[in-house]
Structure 1
């Protein structure tokens, strides 16, 4: 199955990280299985922004080993793990590259990349885990570029006793935003 999915957790007030980029607030929810292994098993390639990549590396060895990973980074990556490659092109060329991909692509984050790829019409699905916490401030889910108004189609919902809600939406084929 192909497609480009933004699979991400956000606080109820719409933040994916604290102001300093920390996602430590998610640790309170780690004891529950939200189906990550099944999701990751269906992914053929990952794409993420440089700040997200740097954050992931702080967790320890690259958790995405064995899958190709593009990191949007103008400055490149020193000593990348196997399968990790810096994408030095612009967002429009990345969007075109992802649209041509035959495998399912996970747009890991961050908020600027997700918003930019939405604006380019390059994300086909939003798989959002709404966490029952209010951060008050931080890095928003859709940061920087404002994607065009788009109609989403609800595909599925799921809830857990700890208050986590999963909302899975299809995004209609969008045309890239005009500058």
Structure 2
């Protein structure tokens, strides 16, 4: 992974939703258990080792907290929120800044930043052209409705396909560089 990159690494249904209409992601569990014992279905461990810090929205943060134990260890994690929340670990910091003010600062501190989600934050980063790489795993399910990953205006941003990986579970990951 090249340096000074912000990567949106996320899963979506084939019809483009990252969560159901209530914000739930239970539908992903079926595909995690179909991995035929392969704990690293999407190369996540390898990807995660390259990440210096994480950025996420407050709804994503609260959802991760609800899963139980904090899965990201001591990696610095920045959560965009206007609300007062409790940090899961000492590595979690809350951000109430504009993306335009935050991104130059974080790019100076870290080489590889993982934009975990959610949809609104990803859309805001994309609209401000602050995402360098998109790793999008399409989950073979049609939700019909829910929270769309891509919504809004992107001013014709071009994506260059770097790689495509197909997994036995039916998950297809597309790896793009954003132009």
TM-score (norm 2): 0.90
Task: In structure 2, list runs of 5 or more residues that go unmatched.
Answer: 36-40
Q: Alignment partner for residue 23 of structure 1, among 25, 35, 39?
A: 25
Matched, 1:87 2:95: yes
Task: In structure 1, list runs of 5 or more residues that go unmatched.
Answer: 173-179
CA RMSD of aligned residues (A): 1.4
Q: CA deviation at 1:158?
A: 0.6
Q: Alignment partner for residue 163 of structure 1, among 137, 160, 170?
A: 170
Going from structure 1 to structure 2, the CA distance change for 1:91 and 1:148 (only over 3 Å counts) comes to same
TM-score (norm 1): 0.90
Greater RCO, 1 or 2 (C-alpha within 8 Å, sep 6+): 2
After TM superposition, the structure 1 = structure 2 runs for residues 92-171 of structure 1, keeping only pairs within 5 Å, are 92-143=100-151, 145-171=152-178
Question: Is the Cα contact below 8 Å between 1:11 and 1:131 reproduced in 2?
Answer: yes
Give me the whole-angstrom Cα distance separating, in 1, the residues matched to 2:61 and 2:87: 13
Residue range with higher mean Cα deviation, 61-70 or 95-104: 95-104
Q: Alignment partner for residue 10 of structure 1, among 9, 12, 22?
A: 12
Residue range with higher mean Cα deviation, 80-89 or 121-130: 80-89
Structure 1 residues 36-69: Cα deviation after superposition (integer angstroms, max 9, x where no partner): 1111111000000000000000000211121000
Aligned residue-pair number? 171
Structure 1 residues 67-96: Cα deviation after superposition (integer angstroms, max 9, x where no partner): 000000112322441100000112222233
Give me the whole-angstrom Cα distance separating, in 2, the residues matched to 1:79 and 1:129: 28
User: Does the residue aligned with 1:93 lie in a helix, a strand or coil?
Assistant: helix
Structure 1 residues 2-39: Cα deviation after superposition (integer angstroms, max 9, x where no partner): 30000000000000001111100000111322211111
Q: Alignment partner for residue 72 of structure 2, among 64, 68, 81?
A: 64
